């Protein structure tokens, strides 16, 4: 038997169940991984709440983890038992002692990177990769705005932007998180609990605003983010921490300066094994070269996943949070 977290109905963290199940067997093209560490992400709460419907109920949860290959299914040639691997694009079910997933979704884990580091960084780090390196390749000297700069993705983005020579203005929710973001490489920070974000952006950019704004908060910051984008600039809305953005009037984009908006997800960029592995390779290189330090702010037992999610949604966490089987 094997343990996992699952949910049989949508709701708050209280719907998560710690259950036994038969040991899963890999099918054609699949691999069974014994998880050593599992990543916690906001997207997990979207599936739990029903914002993103899972394929069926009851459902497993989680897209990110790292461990050792235990068994391979027919047709798998790239991996064998004993390989150190990591993953960040699902399928759902990472909140488990063992996870079966397509071999195409796995990457080899360099010896220099621990299972905990990989579980903390795969989804968030590859998200930072496509945000800063693909959607709008950051250039040295550019000034950009990044919401939740002390969070999982933000803590990586601060470091990556600094390595690229870009000036990242990090929006945070407290003085403590502002200090953390600056220590990680943010050029300047804005404490939204006591400062007017738009006013501070205008001051910091001499009225020019930012060519790119990265927003994972969603509904609560949509209007603010639009007001921080420079003429013909880009708003990257890549998350819904406060709820989804709805009722968008495209005419607002014209009024505010012929703006561009995109709503990307990781699966839209890491959509082939080749692209996935290239993104992971660049991320791992940044870690190995010392440009990115993986900030694990919290560790919870896998059985305490509900408690971990409550800490995440109440914004009590900093950096990445991992679950340990």
pTM of the model: 0.91
Can you give the residue ranges of every domain in the chain? 2-121+271-324, 140-263
Ranges assigned E (strand) in 160-272: 167-172, 188-191, 210-215, 229-237, 260-262
pLDDT at 226: 97
Place 286 in a pLDDT band, splitting at 50, 70 and 90: very high
Please report which residue ranges of the chain form alpha helices under DSSP H: 42-49, 115-130, 152-164, 175-184, 197-204, 222-226, 251-255, 273-288, 305-313
Taking only the tens place, the pLDDT of each residue in 252-269 is 999 999 999 999 999 999
Taking only the tens place, the pLDDT of each residue in 106-133 is 999 999 999 999 999 999 999 999 999 9
pLDDT at 21: 96
Number of other residues whose CB lies within 10 A of the CB of residue 203: 13
Place 225 in a pLDDT band, splitting at 50, 70 and 90: very high
Taking only the tens place, the pLDDT of each residue in 173-195 is 999 999 999 999 999 999 999 99
Q: What is the CATH number of domain 140-263?
A: 3.40.50.720
Tokens linked to 181:
């973001």
pLDDT at 195: 97
Place 317 in a pLDDT band, splitting at 50, 70 and 90: confident
Place 240 in a pLDDT band, splitting at 50, 70 and 90: confident
Tokens linked to 12:
């708050």
Topology of the domain covering 2-121+271-324: Quinone Oxidoreductase; Chain A, domain 1 (3.90.180)
- Average pLDDT of the chain, as a whole number: 96
Taking only the tens place, the pLDDT of each residue in 42-101 is 889 999 999 889 999 999 999 999 999 999 999 999 999 999 999 999 899 999 999 999
Nearby residues of 176 by Cβ (< 8 Å), 6 or more positions away:
none
Which is it for strands 65-72 and 84-87: parallel, antiparallel or unpaired?
antiparallel
């Amino acid at each position: 038997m094997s343990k996992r977290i699952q949910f049989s109905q949508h709701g708050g963290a209280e719907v998560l169940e710690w259950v036994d199940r038969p040991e899963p067997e890999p099918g054609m093209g699949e691999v069974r991984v014994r998880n050593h560490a599992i990543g916690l992400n906001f997207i997990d709460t979207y599936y739990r709440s029903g914002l993103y419907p899972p394929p069926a109920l009851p459902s497993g949860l989680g897209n990110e983890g790292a461990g050792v290959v235990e068994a391979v299914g027919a047709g798998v040639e790239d991996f064998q038992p004993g390989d150190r691997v990591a993953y960040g694009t699902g399928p759902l079910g990472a909140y488990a002692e063992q996870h079966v997933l397509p071999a195409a979704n796995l990457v080899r884990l360099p010896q220099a990177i621990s299972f905990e580091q990989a579980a903390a960084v795969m989804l968030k780090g590859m998200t930072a990769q496509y945000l800063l390196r693909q959607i709008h390749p950051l250039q040295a000297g550019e000034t950009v705005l990044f919401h939740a700069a002390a969070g999982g993705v933000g803590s990586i983005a601060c470091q990556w932007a600094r390595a690229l020579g870009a000036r990242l203005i990090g929006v945070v929710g407290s003085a403590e998180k502002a200090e953390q973001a600056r220590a990680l490489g943010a050029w300047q920070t804005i404490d939204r609990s006591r400062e007017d974000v738009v006013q501070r952006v205008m001051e910091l950019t001499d009225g020019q605003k930012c060519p790119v704004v990265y927003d994972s908060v969603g509904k609560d910051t949509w209007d603010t983010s639009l007001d921080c984008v420079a003429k013909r600039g880009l708003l990257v809305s890549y998350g819904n921490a406060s709820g989804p953005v709805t009722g968008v009037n495209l005419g607002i984009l014209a009024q505010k300066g012929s703006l561009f908006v995109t709503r990307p997800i990781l699966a839209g960029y890491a959509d082939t094994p080749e692209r996935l592995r290239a993104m992971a390779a660049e991320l791992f290189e940044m870690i190995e070269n010392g440009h990115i330090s993986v900030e694990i702010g919290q560790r919870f037992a896998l059985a305490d996943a509900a408690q971990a999610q409550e800490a995440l949604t109440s914004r009590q966490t900093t950096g990445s949070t991992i679950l340990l089987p």
